Structure 1
Amino acid sequence: MATNKTNFKQKLTRKQIFNGLFIALILLLLFVPAAKAFMLQGLMEIGLFKPNLTYKTETANTHLSSIKFKNAKGEIISLADLKGKIIFLNFWATWCPPCLAEMPSVNKLYEQFKNDPEVVFLLVDADSDFTKAQAYMDRKKYKLPVYNFASNLPETIFKGSLPTTIVFDKKGRVSFNGEGAANYSNPKFITFINQLKELKN
């Protein structure tokens, strides 16, 4: 009888430990953005979160010259200034786990095209906090160019969901508009960018 009680206590203890670890893991994922980002990165590595590529070209319902961003030096750039180039525009924040999860893939994409004069990257910090955003980039050793808002944005461009990534073709048309984390170093997305480079019309 005593042996049965001992076995029961051991099983109970193991169950309590397992439950405690499970609860700790859930709390970690809920309250630590880096932990959730790490989990999402792992899911990306096994092939989930591919960008949903629909080869479309939509003309923005607003003038590109009214959409402006500012870098840490205070230099202001409008999307109209970048006409003739492919624009990879990403809205993110340091507290946003899906944003942090997709950032390594964004950085890989940037590394592939950083010396290409036809492709421009704008990483727009939704909090407009250069210090915090740049500290994150420096810590991760990313060279991604950080910008802040310098104008209001139409909802056709950004509805407020983070992360949001928009790709404009050389004529300033929206060719990709994706909400939520995605793996932008995916070969299909790289092919998509290269196809936009070759697009004549």
Structure 2
Amino acid sequence: MKILKKYGANALFFTLILVILFVPDAKAFLIRGLMEIGLYNPKIEQPAASVSDLNGIQFKDIRGNVIDLGNLKGKVIFVNFWATWCPPCRAEMPSLAKLYEQFKNDNTIVFIFADADGNLEKSTKYMAKRNYEMPVFKVNSDVPAQIFSGSLPTTVIFDKLGRLSFRHEGVADYNDKKFVAFLNKLKAQ
């Protein structure tokens, strides 16, 4: 009994650390908590890199419909690269779902949630299981490194003229008031 009292707290702490390290949903839960206290707000600044042409950058949905970014001039384009196995991606999904709900009926903004693994069946099931209604796509062409270099999650936004207006690698709270105002500003331009 003395050993349990002496080492019980250490064992509990060690077990908690192992759960956070090896259970993606536990790690996502921890990150989501840090997001809620404001630790992961996206910095809204003009990216240094630019993309000259969006033509030919394509995404495909589960029904086989293909979207070419070059055909979306006149619309704000929000692209989020993610994967079902990625804890930071899982952590930011609730904020992305809230952002999407605010703008889903706005025909001036196109949302593309691109499963970086390209497994549309798995990613669609993941979204459905969590009651997220966001449109899931897979990358259907080469994507320039200025847009996506492989880090997950990565979010990019293009203005109505097709210019790269925002790029962020890593988890962020996209339902933040400043970020919503940023999207509204891009819509108004």
Scaled by the length of structure 1, the TM-score of the pair is 0.90
Contact 1:57 1:173 in 2 (8 A): no
Deviations 1:23-71 (A, max 9, x none): 111111111110000011111111110001114586404x211211100
Cα pair distance change 1:15/1:78, threshold 3 Å:
farther
Cα pair distance change 1:58/1:169, threshold 3 Å:
farther
Contact 2:73 2:160 in 1 (8 A): yes
Scaled by the length of structure 2, the TM-score of the pair is 0.96
Superposition CA RMSD, Å = 1.3
Q: How does 1:20-59 map to 2 (within 5 A)?
A: 20-55=11-46, 59=50
Specify the alignment match of 2:94 in structure 1.
104
Residue type at the aligned position of 1:44: M
User: Structure 1 residue 14: deviation in Å?
Assistant: 2.0
Structure 1 portions without partners, runs of 5+ = 1-8
Q: Residue 185 of structure 1: SS of its match in structure 2? A: coil
Structure 2 portions without partners, runs of 5+ = none
User: Structure 1 residue 21: deviation in Å?
Assistant: 1.1
**Separation of aligned partners in 1, 2:183 and 2:48:** 13
User: Structure 1 residue 165: deviation in Å?
Assistant: 0.2
User: Structure 1 residue 158: deviation in Å?
Assistant: 0.4
Determine if the alignment matches structure 1 residue 168 to structure 2 residue 158.
yes
Q: Residue 42 of structure 2: SS of its match in structure 1? A: coil
Q: Percent identity?
A: 52
Q: Residue 110 of structure 2: SS of its match in structure 1? A: strand
User: Structure 1 residue 169: deviation in Å?
Assistant: 0.4
Q: Residue 167 of structure 1: SS of its match in structure 2? A: strand
Contact 1:58 1:175 in 2 (8 A): no
Residue type at the aligned position of 1:110: Y
Max Rg structure: 1
Q: Which runs of 4+ in 1 moved over 3 A?
A: 55-59
Q: How does 1:64-103 map to 2 (within 5 A)?
A: 64-103=54-93
More helix by share: 1
Contact 1:66 1:78 in 2 (8 A): yes
Specify the alignment match of 2:132 in structure 1.
142
